[in-house]
Structure 1
Amino acid sequence: MTDTTHTGTVLVLVHGAWHSSAQWAPTQRALAGTGAASVAVDLPGHGFDAPLPTGYLKPGRPGLLTEKSQLATVTMEECAEAVVSTLRQVRRYRTVVLVAHSAGGGPASLAAELAPELVDRIVYLSAFVPGGRPRFADYLGSPENATALGQHLTLGDPEALGAVRIDPLSPDPAYVQELRQTYYHDVPPDRFDRWRTALSPDLPVAVPMSPVAVTAARWGRIARTFLRCAEDRALTPAVQDLMIAEADQAFPASPFTVRTLPGGHSPFAARPRRLAEALLP
């Protein structure tokens, strides 16, 4: 790509559950070809500095189902502040686009509510929108999401662990196949193992369970785009449409611009160039 019409734009990229800034790298390379700058955020408890359960890398995986997560005390407010901090650093750009994937919609939305003057547009990539219901869990458990896959991936009791724990390194072929079919079904099989092994096992339980309150005067004044993933098996198109409809009903003055992408929940892995094109006007 040689288009340089986006040289005044910076995108702040917020990952979803168990992911990190690293998974945005292919998309960032594609964005660079348009002239747009980008910065990927590591939310607390994610990335290379994320603490792991003590038995996660040991033979037999001791304690994996029962050991309390070191991320149990991470709050939604701390996650949002990590986003706000990055937004402050990049505000020098003419246009700042905040992009959230999946569970990252909670921290990104709260960041926009706290500092709307730092954001020109929010893009939700098959991401949680708190406009209609305050918790991501409220949508994950809705009838519209009943056909979603991945219900056998969670280990142990999230409330007791303080985290929603998965096992990206599982030796169980059935578990690995469910992980692939849920999040990466359209990623070539020879690349899937590389993507899954880059995931972290723990998502702080505050991310799906904490309410995020947004207002018309702050979050509601920011232009919003929703990128639907048409074959999403983790967050169904039906529940994506529900979030859009409920947010538009609650905040009718600034309805979503909606675009649809082909494929599943992780276009940054399956088709990053197509995603980069969709993130920009």
Structure 2
Amino acid sequence: MATDPTDLDPSLTGTVFVFVHGAWHSSAQWAPTQRALAALGAASVAVDLPGHGTGAPLPTGYLLPGQPGLLTEKSPLAGLTTDDCAGAVLDTLRRVRHYRSVVLVAHSAGGGPASLAAERAPELVDRIVYLSAFVPGGRPRFSDYIASPENATAWGRDLPVADPDALGAIRINPLSPDPAYVERLRQTHYTDTPRDRFDRWRSLLTTDLPLTLTTGPVTVTAARWGRIPRTFLRCADDRALTPAVQDLMITEADRAAPAHPFTVRTLPGSHSPFAARPHELAAALVL
């Protein structure tokens, strides 16, 4: 059905949203939200971080019967760094700077590369939105927050299938033949996404998150990153990154960079609202 022109928000003319995905995801995760934004009159573009998306290298046995070597083969992404990923974000930001307003949106582990890109070139970003995402304002490593007491009740600690230090990546198995494992993956990241839709979503996931995206430091400053107006979209029922640790990141970032404290909004549901309720997510982004 065609969009009624009267439904378009004229204030969004000239605004572009730049989306940065989280762990094991890709630009594809944003497609339903991008369609919802387009119906409101906003342009958008989604980034594939290095080692992600349709061209992502996979363990050689991942798609073979029995998945040989999945637990032992070193990740082809082991050498990737947050710097590499921030470079991909910066490249996109430079390409869209001709828009009147550029809004950078990061989900989950994508908060590290997005923050580093904003620190390096704050003139390219007019607003930054963290969707249940890592904010390095208070502590430089995502692992600092993942391992904090505030995140102690988070799910997903049993999802890695092998030693991340040995593989150079945090490896999961979205195509696992074990129904119990698949259900844990769903309950961790897609709690409120119906099972049949989740099966389609998990088929798009990749296996490896470069370890440095959680353990490598991301240094931001009040003078550069901190000068950008920022919004945090809390996920109220998030099991992957608890509301308590989301609040901790907000509080510590505001203390470190008080000039533009977070505007905070809370969304219902799980860690992945782009799957469960993309129209609500789009509406929250344009507020």
Scaled by the length of structure 2, what TM-score is found?
A: 0.97
* Count of aligned positions: 281
The residue aligned with 1:181 is: 187
Provide the identity percentage. 76
Partner of 1:118: 124
Please tell me the residue identity of whatever aligns with 1:4. Answer: D
Among 25, 41, 63, the residue aligned to 1:35: 41
| Correspondence for 1:143 | 149
* 1:204 aligned onto 2:210: yes
**What secondary structure is seen at the aligned counterpart in 1 of 2:281?**
helix
Which of 249, 255, 273 pairs up with 1:267? 273
Distance 1:208 1:275 in 2: 25
Match runs of 1:218-237 below 5 Å: 218-237=224-243
| CA shift for structure 1 position 155 | 1.4
2:104 aligned residue: 98
- 2:247 aligned to 241, 244, 260, which one? 241
Identify the residue that residue 3 of structure 1 maps to in structure 2: 8
Which residue identity does 2:222 align to in structure 1?
A: A
Match of 1:68 among 71, 74, 94: 74
C-alpha offsets along residues 136-171 of structure 1, whole Å, 9 cap, x if unaligned? 000000000000001110011111101110000000
Structure 1: gaps (5+ residues): none
CA distance in 1, matches of 2:158, 2:212: 20
Q: Give the counterpart letter for 1:189 in structure 2.
A: R
Q: What's the C-alpha RMSD, in Å, of the aligned pairs?
A: 0.7
Question: How far apart in 2 are the matches of 1:224 and 1:166?
Answer: 31
Task: Report the Cα offset of residue 3 of structure 1.
Answer: 2.1
Out of 47, 55, 67, which is 2:53 matched to?
47
Structure 2: distance between partners of 1:261 and 1:27: 14
Name which of 273, 278, 284 aligns with 1:278. 284
**Counterpart check, 1:108 vs 2:123:** no
Q: Distance in 1 between matches of 2:72 and 2:85?
A: 25
- Does the alignment pair 1:152 with 2:158? yes
Name the counterpart of 2:89. Answer: 83
Shift of 1:130: 0.1
> In structure 2, what residue type is equivalent to 1:67?
E
Q: Deviations over 1:156-196 (max 9, x none)?
A: 11111011100000000110010000001100122110011
Deviates further, 187-196 or 120-129: 187-196
Tell me the SS of whatever aligns to 1:117: helix
Displacement of 1:106 in angstroms is: 0.1
Secondary structure (helix, strand or coil) at the match of 1:277 reads helix
Distance in 1 between residues matched to 2:175 and 2:39, nearest whole Å = 34
Q: CA deviation at 1:4?
A: 2.8
SS of match in other structure, 2:18: strand
